[in-house]
């Protein structure tokens, strides 16, 4: 006779959207690299210190593995949080493993501008949400994508198929039919406000709800969305 | 002063060519010298709608390539004074269109004293549609009252705001207005179709006109006479209103409500 034991699940797979920074190396000379990267780190970019970084090479076809190792060491020495190497026909996962990195395909992803402007010196130690607020007063159409280093305020409709990304809060003073992703750099205090919620997807710091999962009583209503631990909270904006 | 107008939609089969033909004919009827250009290279249709398919010798690509001059390429309409048609090539593909070549053709038409140049865009958001829209001063976006058409129109509006010459020169968006075609108030009432308000709410642009779903449009296409010439039909009247509004007149929108059934209709109407 066999007894079936019910084993408690010790794992759970979760979908999570993450923002990765891609560092495109055009040259592998360790001295130049050291100088320029430390310069960038000094300039502001707190985000560059914490953010998971994927290394991509501008000329993967004629890369020297020794030079690549040196470059990776240099970056690690500066405290850059390297997590993976961009995979392509010249760089396979074995090369990445040799460097102690994961390998990731960048095909299919989308670029959002990252190094728009260095933050002013006074704000060097401020968290990332201290960026500028971006105000959009034209409709955001299907296929368009808006990225704000700080808060994002939209005064016109956001269409299905449009995407709003902000490191801070997102305000839409009109109908939100597209996607809104607040706190894309991990700010769990980011919030989403909109006058009429009809979104395809809303996300705060990587936690998201698709249209199907939006609470019915808040559909087409003015709403205020926050993140409470792992749960997204919806409240009337009245 | 020449005004270049692109008639576009993103989605195919919504009535761009019908609208281009009607708009051009309506403008010419009112005494404005107008050329309508078919940019749908490889899928030529405008000549059929305009009823000049048996008079096509040269086409847009011939003119761009210098095989023919502009005067040879233009077909003069037989019904309406001041109306010219420049057909698309059926044997080539859209790669034959170059921006330089198109600009040269448009400049040539300006020199001929055209007041309006109507560019009938192909469907899609690829090279053909972008080329048709690039030099436009104004856009007419043709949309059917259903979600996929509305979404595609929205996409094309986004593209117009960045991919036209005026946008690239930093002169801002070109003005765009909405022409809602194949509208059926009965189906809207039954909840089978988006209403005018739904569509204008989503697209957030001015409404140029609403063209009712009409047998007259099909008849017009089959007979090669733009539907605007059929002044007795509801679609013809609606296009005439749209042309008037395009020229700045104020006209109330018609054909937005279902015909109320009469007593007999109510008593004997099929359910």
Note the pLDDT of residue A111: 57
The 10s digit of each residue's pLDDT in A144-176 is 999 999 999 999 999 999 999 999 999 999 999
Q: Which residues of B touch A (CB under 8 A)?
A: 151-152, 154-155, 157-159, 161, 173, 201-204
ipTM over 0.85: no
A residues 120-149 near B, CB within 8 Å?
138-144
Residue B100 has pLDDT above 70, yes or no: yes
pTM exceeds 0.90 for this model = no
A40 touches chain B (CB under 8 A): no
Whole-Å CA distances, B246 to B26, B60, B225: 10, 26, 21
Note the pLDDT of residue A16: 65
Closest CA to A29 of A57, A83, A67, A59: A67
In terms of pLDDT, which residue wins out, B117 or A230? Answer: B117
With an 8 Å Cβ cutoff, are B161 and A160 in contact? Answer: no
Residue B182 has pLDDT above 90, yes or no: yes
Tokens (6 digits) for B46: 């405008």
With an 8 Å Cβ cutoff, are B204 and A162 in contact? Answer: no
Whole-Å CA distances, B152 to A143, A159, B141, B156: 10, 11, 10, 6
The 10s digit of each residue's pLDDT in A42-89 is 665 555 666 778 888 888 887 788 888 888 888 888 778 888 888 877
Residue B36 has pLDDT above 60, yes or no: yes
Q: Which residues of B touch A160 (CB under 8 A)?
A: 151, 154
Percent residues over pLDDT 70 in chain A? 81
Find the CB nearest B158 among A144, A156, A177: A144
Residue B267 has pLDDT above 70, yes or no: no
Span B38-56, average pLDDT: 93
Note the pLDDT of residue A159: 95
Confidence band for B268, pLDDT divided at 50, 70 and 90: low
**Cα gap A188→A193, rounded to integer Å:** 15
From the number of C-beta atoms within 10 Å of its C-beta (0-12, 13-18, 19+), residue A75 rates as buried
Quote the minimal CA–CA distance from A9 to chain B in Å.
43
Quote the minimal CA–CA distance from B6 to chain A in Å.
19
Per the listing, tokens 């991990």 go with A186
CB B14 within 8 A of CB B128: no
**Cα gap A201→B12, rounded to integer Å:** 28
Q: Which residues of B touch A136 (CB under 8 A)?
A: none
Whole-Å CA distances, A47 to A85, A134, A169: 19, 19, 17
> Which residue of B10, B158, B178 to mutate against A (max A Cβ within 10 Å)?
B158
Residue A233 has pLDDT above 70, yes or no: yes
Nearest CA in chain B to A175: B202
> Which residue of A136, A137, A139, A155 to mutate against B (max B Cβ within 10 Å)?
A139
Note the pLDDT of residue A115: 42
């Amino acid at each position: 006779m066999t007894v079936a034991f019910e084993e408690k699940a010790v794992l759970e797979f979760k979908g999570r959207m993450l923002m990765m920074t891609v560092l495109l190396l055009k040259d592998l000379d360790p001295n130049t690299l050291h100088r320029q990267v430390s310069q960038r780190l000094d300039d502001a970019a707190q985000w560059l210190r914490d953010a998971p970084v994927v290394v991509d090479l501008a000329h993967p076809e004629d890369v020297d593995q020794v030079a690549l190792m040196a470059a990776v060491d240099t970056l690690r020495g500066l405290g850059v949080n390297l997590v993976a190497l961009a995979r392509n026909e010249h760089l396979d996962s074995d090369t990445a493993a040799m460097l102690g990195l994961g390998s990731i395909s960048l095909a299919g992803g989308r670029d959002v501008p990252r190094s728009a402007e260095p933050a002013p010196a006074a704000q060097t130690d401020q968290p990332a949400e201290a960026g500028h607020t971006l105000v959009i007063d034209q409709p955001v159409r299907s296929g368009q994508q808006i990225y704000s280093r700080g808060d994002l305020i939209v005064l016109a409709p956001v269409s299905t198929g449009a995407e709003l990304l902000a490191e801070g809060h997102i305000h839409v003073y009109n109908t939100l039919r597209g996607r809104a992703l607040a706190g894309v750099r991990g700010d769990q205090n980011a919030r989403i406000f909109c006058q009429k919620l009809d979104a395809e997807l809303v996300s705060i710091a990587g936690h998201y709800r698709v249209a199907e999962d939006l609470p019915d009583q808040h559909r087409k209503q003015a709403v205020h969305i926050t993140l409470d631990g792992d749960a997204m909270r919806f409240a009337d904006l009245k | 002063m020449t005004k270049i107008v692109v008639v576009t939609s993103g989605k195919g089969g919504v009535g761009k060519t019908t609208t281009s033909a009607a708009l051009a004919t309506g403008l010419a009827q009112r005494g404005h010298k107008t050329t309508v250009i078919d940019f749908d290279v490889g899928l030529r249709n405008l000549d059929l709608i305009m009823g000049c398919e048996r008079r096509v010798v040269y086409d847009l690509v011939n003119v761009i390539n210098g095989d023919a001059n502009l005067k040879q390429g233009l077909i003069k309409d037989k019904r309406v004074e001041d109306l010219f048609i420049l057909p698309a090539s059926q044997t080539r593909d859209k790669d034959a269109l170059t921006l330089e070549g198109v600009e040269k053709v448009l400049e040539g038409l300006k020199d001929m004293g055209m007041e309006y140049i109507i560019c009938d865009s192909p469907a899609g958001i690829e090279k053909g549609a972008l080329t048709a829209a690039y030099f436009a001063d104004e856009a007419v976006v043709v949309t059917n009252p259903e979600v996929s058409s509305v979404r595609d129109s929205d996409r094309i509006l986004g593209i117009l705001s960045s991919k036209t010459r005026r946008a690239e020169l930093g002169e801002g968006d070109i003005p765009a207005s909405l022409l809602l075609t194949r509208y059926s108030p009965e189906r809207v009432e039954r909840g089978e179709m988006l209403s005018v308000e739904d569509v204008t709410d989503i697209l957030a642009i001015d409404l140029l006109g609403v063209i009712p779903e009409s047998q007259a449009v099909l008849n017009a296409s089959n007979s090669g006479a733009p539907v605007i010439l059929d002044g007795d039909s509801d679609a013809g009247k609606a296009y005439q209103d749209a042309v008037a509004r395009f020229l700045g007149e104020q006209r109330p929108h018609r054909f937005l409500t279902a015909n109320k059934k009469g007593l007999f209709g109510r008593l004997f109407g099929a359910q």
